[in-house]
Amino acid sequence: MREAIFITGGGSGIGRAVAQRFAREGWFIGLADIDESGLAETAALLPQGASWTTKLDVQNRAAWDQALAAFVQASGGRLDVLFNNAGVAHGGPFEGNSQAEIDQLIDVNFRGVAYGAQAAFPYLRDTRSSVLLNTASAAALYGGAGLAVYSATKFAVRALTEALDVEWAGDGIAVRSLMPGFIDTPLLHTPAHAGSNQSKRDTVVEAGLEFTPVEVVAETAWEAIRSPKLHHLVGKTARRLAFAARWMPGRLRKTMVRSFGVGK
């Protein structure tokens, strides 16, 4: 019986790349997203019979239960990996973030991850030697100016990952996170924040930061499910930030103050 992975945010970006990577290894792929056309596009890239799709709003706890029950039935009773990947991004000065932006960040990026983990637990426990893999971010290494709420949600995902890895160890479930820097996915092609005409991607380019290919994230995901390491950095930005946050936090703060234009 082939191994099975359920991927949220599977309609594009990281979710699509991870689906392709695991499909190459012969896994059965569950794809979930609110974007049904994106789901169809991803499924079309996978071998025939290798995938199962469902529309899922990760903010809906009952929908999680229904989706996972149906997927496990389709997979022959297995859930080897739940990839909690769906997310949204809004930035800009904190005082300018709208209530809708703040609520969506918290509800999708953290509440959705927590709901997914809780809904998946019995299936992961029954499969054994299973993995809960969460997409955190390099923003979970040090609070990012201009990304206050987004960064806070990713710190929450990091904390959940660490706590559940301990809680679930006795149930045969490993819990891991991915911490990518900037990945050029559709998530970056939306406005940086409400009222902005500049895309998130343009903001990254202006800052002179690099993009990590989505295929690198997918390869790291494949490695992470077999690794004893808890958090997995992806890309140069993430590695540099991790080093600075650990060894030079004062200098990192001063750099952020200058780059954010304090005093201008």
Catalytic residues: 150
Rounded CA-CA distance 107/8 in Å is 14
Are 10 and 44 a contacting pair, CB within 8 Å? no
State the DSSP H helix or E strand holding residue 175, giving kind and residue range, or none if neither.
strand 173-180
Order across the sheet with 173-180: list the strands.
51-55, 28-33, 4-8, 81-84, 130-135, 173-180, 231-234
Beta-bridge partners for 125: none
Are 33 and 39 a contacting pair, CB within 8 Å? yes
Task: Work out the end-to-end distance of the chain between its first and last CA atoms, rounded to an integer number of angstroms.
Answer: 62
Rounded CA-CA distance 241/121 in Å is 32
Rounded CA-CA distance 149/208 in Å is 23
Place of tokens 């809960």: 132
Are 7 and 31 a contacting pair, CB within 8 Å? yes
Q: At what angle do helices 249-259 and 236-247 cross, to 10 degrees?
A: 120
Longest CA span, the chain: 62
Closest residue by Cα to residue 15 from 38, 44, 36, 37: 38
